[in-house]
Amino acid sequence: MGTRPNRWYISLEAAKRDFLTIDPDTTSQDTRIKDLIRDVSRWLEEQCRTWWTPVTATRLYDHPGDTSRLNLDQWLLSISTFTTNNGAQAITSSDYLLHQVLYEATYNEKPYNVIVMRGDVPDLLYTDTRKQANSVAGVWGYCNDTVGTGVTVLNDPLAVDGTSLTVQTGKLETGQMLLIESEQVFVSGIVEGDPNDAVTIERAQNGTTAAAHAADTAISQYAPPADLVAACGMTVARMYHRGATKWTDTVGSPDAGLMYFKELLPEARTIIERYRRDFGHVLDGGNRERWFAGRRA
């Protein structure tokens, strides 16, 4: 088993403030809440088979039966390198089109899940084996939206092996994924101060590369969709409160009424279903390939 990735879909402070009604300055339960956020975030990724913080990686695919298209098992945001014929032949960006195919095909919406070869270029190939004949290097995930944090690399430059930032007080939160130039940086801890906070960071996240960053370099923050953040926060709160009741299914009394905790909150379930994708495909009555979203058929 590898190290669990640092992809949190709600910050520690936001979970306490917005879903647990715990004063963010109260730290006695921080370790438990952090573990819950990490575990729920990973669970959301597994349920929806995607990431909401982009991952730079190379994914390998067997040679498909249809040599003019490659169906992907993960949402794709952009391609840096695409090869076929077990790495022997590079495919340039002018040789293919990217599709998002669910109920209908579109060239205009990210993320993508199909690569289609143009009609006037060679098909996807293999020589000795179909296994891992195609390689796609790029940025993967559902989205890569960022927002400004209003802070920069203060004072001294951030060295390639630096593990801390000094930023204005109250601007960053624990669990955020930052973008500094092309490097992703995870906020693992914050010591508040006045006028600046000391922020502990983990470098080179999600396939990016650590680099030196000059003073005054702008710092952005990855921003998963707001409803996904809410689903993460609701589920963290549900798990936290169920643990507080020693994992009983109900809490309360006959006089005051009973509150049930066992089932996933309907609001969270609705949000999760929106993002859940099955990258399998079926044939409809006309024997045309049809991709589908939502629950497995």
Greatest pairwise CA separation for the chain in angstroms: 75
> Which amino acid type is present at position 20?
L
Helix (H), strand (E) at residue 237: helix 226-244
Q: What's the pTM? A: 0.86
Unique residue bearing structure tokens 């006089």:
255
pLDDT, tens digit (0-9, with 9 covering 90-100), for 158-186? 999 999 999 999 999 999 999 999 999 99
The answer to whether 135 and 81 are in contact (CB under 8 A) is yes
pLDDT, tens digit (0-9, with 9 covering 90-100), for 214-259? 999 999 999 999 999 999 999 999 999 887 766 666 555 555 555 5
Residues of each domain in the chain carrying CATH 2.40.33: 146-223
pLDDT, tens digit (0-9, with 9 covering 90-100), for 7-60? 999 999 999 999 998 988 899 999 999 999 999 999 999 999 999 999 999 999
The answer to whether 164 and 157 are in contact (CB under 8 A) is no
The answer to whether 3 and 38 are in contact (CB under 8 A) is no
Q: Which residues contact residue 200 at a Cβ distance below 8 angstroms, ignoring those fewer than 6 apart?
A: 163, 164, 187, 188, 189, 190, 191
The Cα 54–Cα 44 span in angstroms is 15
Q: Enter the tokens of residue 15.
A: 């979970």
CATH fold for the domain made of 146-223: M1 Pyruvate Kinase; Domain 3 (2.40.33)
Residues above pLDDT 90, as percent of the chain: 66
Q: What is the mean pLDDT of residues 59-65?
A: 92
The torsion angles phi and psi of 68, rounded to 5 degrees, stand at: -105, 0
Whole-angstrom CA distances from 4 to 8, 51, 75, 187 are 11, 13, 20, 15
The strand pairing partners of 224, in sequence order, are: none
The Cα 16–Cα 210 span in angstroms is 31
